[in-house]
Structure 1
């Protein structure tokens, strides 16, 4: 049994959604928090046992609930084309780099939404000589879509008129969740345009039933009122994106406790990175799309819908790691307090991913936390360059755990 160690924090945001706690003392023993209490000078422990972070804010590590680790997030066309090459060695190096970017931005868990050849799943199942990654990543392998509809970039379609039960029965990949694509993309030219659903209600229910039998969750890419409504009726676990889904669906999500991952920063990235001469792009429409999504997020808070932060990192203009700070800003712009936004990025995400020992700073939880210089008033800006990351109460070295990559602290 190790001797207790103490962390003094200037400010603590614990991930619960409660108020910021000022001038706190956290006791760590055997790599876990054992108590959290206000710091009092008269009762202070031996200074040699205290790490003084009184000028900093500490938070739980983040969870990004929607990423594509095989994709770069860059805007250069040649780079985007390279991502589809079936060169696993090249892609594995890229995937490792993206995981590194998540880590240095304080993200210790991500949920991958799939790639067309299942490279991220292959990467996860390939032993690495340096051991396991410090970032937990849950993978879908390859998503499912209807033949002739959007989705070939990140998945595959049902073959030979197979039912979901037949298709999943033949599935021998060790995935963590099922990803379904239930609609098309949002129009960047016509405001509010909605595409038809890809799967029928019976097909969706078939996927969900098979997932339950395998104890897997179902994440559904869905925009528009009808695609979202069918996904909710089928019993999915989360709606990804959810643009233009409407008030009725928000009410259903609140009633059935289905999580929403809005990925608002994708639309902001389109506005900032698209070529204004592109005939398929209208900046005014994109900005209206973003505004409408923020309005839906405001309504979601009023209705009691659980939001979990997801960035869609890897999509054009959405880099891995740093985009979490951007999505946090947008959640706050939608009316959430800083601590509520952090809850979306920590406890809510951990719950969606089934991570029982992540998401909050609390007694009995592993002593993992991130450190931002200054007060909460400097967040989320300071999250782009963290002061430190602690795992099991120990400061991470300047070498990235398990890989030797330099951490930019």
Structure 2
């Protein structure tokens, strides 16, 4: 359902009016998700589900004694930012590093998988991730979960885009998350014939990153014409195409033929990044996966060292992407070994900052950039006309991203849906959702 923008709260001319505002949120600091510097002492005017104005808090505090003035939620000492977006997760898998646990998860039936999906959605909510994109599972359980939701969603506050079963070449990597094209059919025709019910089309075009040989690249799985045909088919279906690809050639083929995002993109090189910037193709680096491997594999010095070198190389590519102007969205690959749902966003944000992004730019990658990639037009930024959804974290922005460990409040659709403790009443009058009960 669209969010209709109410009339301006503070018109450009004439006497200022505040009657369209139901209440104000008045944090000490606000990060708006655009990459702009943090704003101090902003007041966010809300009506219904929508942000209708953002003004200086001094303009409203002096009027707050008037009984007819809208209620003010005083959040001095807190930072407000948009709800987060994780652009690459795998909800059917946990971040466990235990091989037996991971194997059980791969072969489990829908009942068990559905419970796991639900739990992981709750974990995303706990860390302020209220929108995400699932990158695929071999059985299509995520689509079944989506389609089995009747009435109010079991996770009503987390919006999700599902790839369902990804596509990979027979005999190549990808069986863990998908399927192969129909016999004697190309990938585009297979998508058309299968009546793909996914929200986004996921294609695997390379292998995994080697943890035994630094910088090893694999051959592409599909050619230029196959991607071109798929791109044209996807446009007709009004679906986006996300491509798992590492290495120069596996990335360059879909970038040249047409795609919406490159997932992972390890060792793809500056030339590909420059082309992606020119074409407006998103990149989802998932750098935290290599940080996790380097940490988990300490007992194997060689693997740990190569994982660390892979990470360092990816951070350099992220730095180049920022320099080139690539549209970079934050995704964690949560469900990979050592990459926990929800919490991993904190580590990925830190890695972006290690690569030269400012805090505000890292927040942008984890909010508005992800929202744009996933097609959510009403979230990701704090500005008039957008959905009134945001996170409230304790302390100044300098405490981020670690302060996401202790989110004080979560707002969605103009209502407080989670409160850690009773800081202030919910002006909407709705019951709060307390995660710590």
2 CA distance for matches of 1:306 and 1:98?
27
Residue number among 240, 246, 252 corresponding to 1:217 in the alignment: 240
State the match for 2:427 in structure 1: none
> Which consecutive residues of structure 2, in runs of 5 or more, have no partner in the other structure?
1-18, 421-431
8 Å contact 2:21–2:52 — kept in the other structure?
no
Deviation at 1:86, TM superposition (A): 4.1
How far does residue 46 in structure 1 lie from its aligned partner after superposition?
4.1
Root-mean-square deviation over aligned CA pairs: 1.9
Check whether the contact 1:63–1:345 (CA below 8 A) recurs between aligned residues: yes
Give the whole-Å Cα distance in 1 for the aligned partners of 2:134 and 2:24: 35
Asked if the contact 1:180/1:218 (under 8 Å) is kept, the reply is yes
> Does residue 11 of structure 1 match 2:32?
no
Aligned equivalent of 2:225, options 180, 191, 202? 202
2: CA distance, partners of 1:16 / 1:405: 28
- Deviation of the 1:354 alpha carbon: 0.8
Partners of 1:163 and 1:189 in 2: CA distance: 33
* Change beyond 3 A, Cα 1:161–1:5: same
Query: Are residues 1:292 and 2:320 paired?
Result: no
Q: Could you tell me which residue of structure 1 aligns to residue 8 of structure 2?
A: none
- Among 72, 76, 80, the alignment partner of 2:102 is 80
Compare 36-45 and 74-83 and name the one that shifted more.
36-45
Deviation at 1:206, TM superposition (A): 1.7
Question: Where in structure 2 are the equivalents of 1:332-351 lying within 5 Å?
Answer: 332-351=353-372
Q: Aligned to 1:105, which of 127, 132, 141?
A: 127
Aligned residues: 403
TM-score normalised per structure 2: 0.89
The CA distance in 1 between the partners of 2:42 and 2:20, in whole Å, is 22
Equivalence for 2:436: 408
Q: Between 267-276 and 320-329, report the one with greater CA deviation.
A: 267-276
- CA drift of 1:261 comes to 0.3
Task: Give the CA deviation at 1:2.
Answer: 8.1
Give the alignment partner of residue 64 of structure 2, picking from 45, 56, 63: 45
Residues 1:353 and 2:374 are matched in the alignment: yes
- Of 234, 244, 261, the residue aligned with 1:238 is 261
Q: Secondary structure of 2:144's match?
A: helix
Summarize deviations over 1:266-323 as a string: whole Å, max 9, x none. 0001111126249xx5221111110000001111111111100000001111000000
* Cα distance between partner residues in 2 of 1:84 and 1:162: 27
| 1:189 paired to 2:212 | yes
Task: Identify which of 345, 348, 361 aligns with 1:327.
Answer: 348
Contact 1:104 1:408 in 2 (8 A): no
| Greater radius of gyration (CA) | 2
2:46 maps to what in 1? Answer: 28
Which stretches in structure 1 are left out of the alignment for 5+ residues? none
Aligned partner of 1:150 in structure 2 is 173
C-alpha distance after superposition, 1:81-121 (max 9, x if no partner): 11112411111010000001111111111001000000001
C-alpha contact (below 8 Å) 1:2/1:30 kept by paired residues: no
Equivalent position to 1:135, from 140, 144, 158:
158
Aligned to 1:90: 112
SS at structure 2 position matched to 1:190? coil
Give yes or no for contact 2:92–2:141 (8 Å, CA) kept in 1: yes
* Counterpart residue number, 2:83: 61
Q: Partner of 1:115 in structure 2?
A: 137
